[in-house]
Amino acid sequence: MRDLADKCWSLTEADIEALEIGSGILGTGGGGNPYIGKLRAREALRSGLELKILPIEALEDEAKVVPMGGIGAPLVSFERIKEGREGLRCLRALEERMGFTADAVGCEEIGGQNSMEPLVTAAMAGLPVVDGDGMGRAFPEMQMTTYAIYGHRSTPSVMCDPHGNAVIFDHAISEKWHETMARACVIAQGGASVLASAPMSGAFFKRHAIPHSYTQAIGLGRAVIEARRAHEDPIAAICAREKGRRMFSGKITDLKRHFRGGFNVGVAAIEGLEDCRGSQGEITIQNEFLIFRRDGEMQVCVPDLVVVLDLDSGLPITTEVLRYGQRVAVLALPCHELLRTPQALEVIGPGAFGFPDLVYRPMSEAA
């Protein structure tokens, strides 16, 4: 499997800059702060490591792919600096526990800093990251990946913290139980850690991953950069590229946000500006932006993407850096079709977040 390196392409610093923006948009406010992730990825490049992306089509069926990502509250991962080798320790401990050698690293979620964690770990291990992920965005819980939804059992898994601790979850009776146990552990480890899950085959990854998500995120970031350089509207560029819609423009007038059960949870209230003057917006938060309401009526909800951008720059704003008085634009972007099946909606629809009365309606069907 080591000939996979011949099929990869290597990221440049310009790619990392674009990935920071694109992953911030796709992260719907979560996934960890992409700026911190960018700094780590950039330093890995400058130290001589190679950040390699393997096209999903080039992945061999027999390859062993280890999915990986950060777990915990974005606010903690923003304020507490990683030691740096948590992901590599997870990978090596998992290989030792299960008696295998990884051929590639998979991304759990393309959103935010979690787009960078697999890249840094894979570079240290001399492996590529496959061009795909398990969400096409970010979600707050581990069972909310397409990997888990479509049958992958993620244990045994390994969680590592900045202090050098490694915890092995040998067996969970369900993916939800794995999430529950891991969430309790990450609280004990300080609120933010890295977790590597049991390997999946290349054949499974190709069937059930959201394809080309690194290519998508980098292309999206480049579109924003190019629009800003040309003094054009980056918000319009995002909507055009992702078939999205601008839902609201306003100023944050109230923000309730706190750390509970390993998550950032809260509500942001937005007073309308420009053509939305006189209206009130509200966003429900659990690590990510889950639901947007206008004047009390739900306009967009998970699994479609609720994206918050700086109204003037068009750059993404994550949940941990929301502030009173910020001028923001709220966008809705359609999710991948793998997230819209009845099987998926049981896990990532509004009912899974405690809103059983809300009915998900795909953006393509909305008026």
> Tens digit of pLDDT for each residue in 202-239?
999 999 999 999 999 999 999 999 999 999 999 999 99
Coil vs helix vs strand at 355? coil
Q: Quick one: which of 11, 28, 127 has its CA closest to 74?
A: 28
Confirm whether 220 is domain-assigned.
no
Give residue 327's domain range: 233-365
Alpha-carbon distance of 315 to 319, in angstroms, equals 13
Residue length, the chain? 367
Q: Which CATH number belongs to the domain containing residue 58 in this structure?
A: 3.40.1610.10
> Last residue of a domain, which of 150, 179, 213?
213
Residue 354 phi/psi, 5-degree rounding, is: 90, 20
Residue type, 287: N
* 23 and 108 inside one domain: yes
Share of the chain above pLDDT 70, in %: 94
What phi and psi, each to the nearest 5 degrees, are found at residue 268? Answer: -115, 130
**Residue 259 forms part of a structural domain:** yes
* CATH code, domain carrying 359: 2.40.390.10
Nearest-CA neighbor of 117 among 76, 166, 68, 74? Answer: 68
Element (H, E) at 227: helix 213-229
CA distances from 294 to 70, 103, 250, 299 (A): 32, 47, 11, 7
**DSSP state letters, 9-75:** EE--HHHHHHHHHHHHHHTTT-SS-HHHHHHHHHHHHHTT---EEE-GGG--TT-EEEEEEEEE-HH
Please state at what angle helix 234-242 crosses helix 213-229, rounded to 10 degrees.
150
Query: Which backbone phi and psi does 81 adopt, to 5 degrees?
Result: -75, 135
Could you tell me if 49 and 166 lie in one domain? Answer: yes
CA dihedral 117, 334, 339, 314 (to 10 degrees): 20
Tell me the C-alpha distance between 299 and 178, whole Å.
32
Give the single-character DSSP code of 137: S
Residue 150, token pair as written in the block: 């479509």
Asked if 309 and 193 sit in the same domain, the reply is: no
Average pLDDT over residues 236-250: 97
245 inside domain: yes
Residue 94 pLDDT > 80: yes
Region 276-294 average pLDDT: 94
The pLDDT tens digits for 303-329 are 999 999 999 999 999 988 899 999 999
Calculate ∠ Cα 152-100-84, nearest 5°. 85
**Are residues 108 and 174 part of one domain?**
yes
The residue type found at 346 is E
> For residue 13, what are the contacts with CB-CB under 8 A and spacing of at least 6?
42, 45
Indicate whether 306 belongs to any domain.
yes
Residue of 342, 314, 160 lying closest to 241 (CA atoms)? 314
pTM here is 0.94
**Per-residue pLDDT tens digits for 36-60:** 999 999 999 999 999 999 999 999 9
pLDDT of residue 258: 73
pLDDT band at 335 (very low <50, low <70, confident <90, very high): very high
Do 203 and 239 belong together in one domain?
no
> Do residues 245 and 277 both lie within one domain?
yes
Q: Indicate if the pLDDT at residue 2 is higher than 80.
A: no
Based on the fold, state whether residues 114 and 205 are members of the same structural domain. Answer: yes
Q: How far is CA 226 from the centre of its chain?
A: 23
pLDDT at 82: 80
Note the pLDDT of residue 367: 46
Q: Give the count of domains, the chain.
A: 2
- Decide: 275 and 249 in contact? Cβ < 8 Å: yes
CB hemisphere CA count around 287 (13 angstroms): 31
How big is the chain by its Cα radius of gyration, in Å?
A: 19
Same-domain pairing of 149 and 11: yes
